[in-house]
Amino acid sequence: MEITVKDLLQVGPLKTSQVVAGYQKIDNVVKGVTIIEAPDIVNWLSGGELLLTSLYAGPGEGMNYREFIRKMVEKNVAALAIKVRRFVQEVPQEIIESANEFGLPIIELDGNVPFIDVMYPIMEQLFNSQVVKLKYYKEVQERFTALALQCEDVNVIVNTLEELVGNPVAIYDKNFKCIMSTDPAIEEFEAPDEFTLRENISEKFFYYRQKVCYPDLNNQWVSQIVVPIQAFTQIRGYLTVAELNRPLADMDFISIEQAATVTTLDMVKHFAVKEVEYKFKNDLIEHILSGELSSTNAEERINMMDWNLDRPYYVVLFDLKNIDDYFLENRSQHKMAIQSLKTEITKTISGVIKTYTRDFIIGNKGDKIVLLWPLDNFSENSFESLKKIVKEAQGQVKKSMKELVIQVGIGDVAKDRKEISRSYKEAIDALSYGEMTSKECSVVSFTELGVFRILCKFAERNSLQEFIPKPLLKILEYDEENEGELVKTLEVFLECNGNASRAAKELFIHYKTILYRLERIKEIAKLDLEDSNIRLELEMGLKMLHLLGNRK
């Protein structure tokens, strides 16, 4: 509860006093009272004082009254009370003019009033104010502590805070998406772009006041108090109070600080629970993908998660290819940030999947998001539907994270839990082939690989190298020795179905240049590029080279 200069004019001898200057600052908050006993008193002030003087101790040598008043204002003095008809007959005109100029209330005291008669009532008021404030702080702290001990959710917290501050309250996530509010009209708002329009209120909680526009309140601009909720060195959300009904008083911020503390504890609790669930679920998915399901413990954990693995599943892998590029500094310093990004991507994918079914399993394995898609009635149409849904999820992630390369691999159908590990390996192969054919976001199914499924299986057994055509190895050896680009040229030429002109455009080289390179290829490898069988053999060999490169 704050006491202002205006309030003190109703206390003790000040009732018969009058303000003769500085009326515009009569609402200055008074925090203490002291007597000017020396000219250098301004050097010892901390702000908020009501100063009492008879002007016996003047402004000091080399300083006039104007400079004296200016320094008091710089020190945030609340007011200056001058006793008249003691050493001065009236308040000097220079003081009145300076007080009006700089904004310092000047109170004229009767010369017969002892300073102690002024000080005692004021100190009593200030002391009582502190007692009231401490009592209120204790009551509010006990109330919010009880909410924390009873594990009440944020719904109860915001309603309690609204009751105490008399204004609607809302809690948002770190992206300002409303989690809970006491009034739906304040859930959406538009904030100013300029940070300079924010008024910092407290360094302790880093909260601030800003003007925001509420579309659901006829685009009304309202003052909003924003308190960032920090946990584990990161902002997890925001607690806001809209000053719709009345401006917040000093006591209200006691309630806001307590509510912010309890909200932080609630978010930390949920974060810790989610971390345990996340680790538990991902460890279990790891066992399922590796086929290690023979132990009783694994079976119990599957039953605990209420997962039915005795039905067909597709294994879908979302591979986050360049997630480290989002964090250029040391990875260990950004471990939590990377995990947070993975969690956000998993949420986005889950959000898309949930619009079609809620009966799925999703988790993380390294930089890959694993989706087990149940398939009770397998058909070709259901596979096409899955690809469509997966592409939609991939697109949603790219929409919010444009620079992220996210490739998708889909394994063949696993008829039961024993085949899930096989489908997972096939999804890995599909990813390898997708990376081989496209560096951008792709969706590749192992089922659709055709003959390249055989290559993937050979690559899995590390026996692919012996099948690479020897002529292709000669071209590769030439490129390595001469830093040439014959293998790349051959690959593009074959992709263009033997059309040299089109291949030259793809490689951004002159038509004569590609003809020269093709002649060099024929000379080095002793090849007839017009022979369809040789071209097929070379195409297969190039795919083998890529697969071997991916395996390495």
Do 436 and 485 fall within a single domain? no
Tokens (6 digits) for 362: 């999703």
Mean pLDDT, range 76-86, rounded to an integer: 90
Asked whether residue 330 carries a pLDDT value surpassing 50, the answer given is: no
Burial 406-423 (b: 16+ CB within 10 A, else e): bbbbbbbbbbebebbbeb
Mean pLDDT, range 132-147, rounded to an integer: 85
Q: Domain of 267: which CATH number?
A: 3.30.450.40
pLDDT band at 94 (very low <50, low <70, confident <90, very high): very high
DSSP 425-458: HHHHHHHHHHHHH-SS--EEEGGGGTTHHHHHHH
Q: Domain of 539: which CATH number?
A: 1.10.10.2840
Higher model confidence: residue 466 or residue 286? Answer: 286
Tokens (6 digits) for 482: 């001469």
Q: Would you state the pLDDT for residue 329?
A: 45
Whether 285 is in a domain gets the answer: no
pLDDT band at 105 (very low <50, low <70, confident <90, very high): very high
Whether 144 is in a domain gets the answer: no
How many residues are listed for the chain in this entry? 552
Do 427 and 315 fall within a single domain? yes
Q: What is the span of the domain harbouring residue 538? A: 465-551
Do 441 and 479 fall within a single domain? no
Whether 301 is in a domain gets the answer: no
Do 326 and 230 fall within a single domain? no
Rounded to whole angstroms, what are the CA distances from 100 to 105, 162, 183, 389? 8, 40, 44, 72
- CA neighbours within 13 Å on the CB side: how many for 32? 9
Do 474 and 518 fall within a single domain? yes
How many domains is the chain built from? Answer: 4
Gap between the Cα atoms of 219 and 209, Å rounded = 18
Q: How many CB atoms lie within 10 A of CB 236?
A: 18
Strand 406-410 relative to strand 443-445, pairing: parallel
Q: Looking at the whole model, is its pTM more than 0.85?
A: no
Predicted confidence (pLDDT) per residue in 438-472, tens digit: 656 678 888 877 666 666 655 555 566 677 788 88
Gap between the Cα atoms of 469 and 535, Å rounded = 11
225 secondary structure, DSSP code: E
Q: Would you state the pLDDT for residue 60?
A: 62
Name which of 86-90, 128-132, 294-298, 424-428 the model is least confident about. 294-298
Burial 40-78 (b: 16+ CB within 10 A, else e): ebbeebeebbbbbbbbeeebeeeeebbebbbbbbebebb
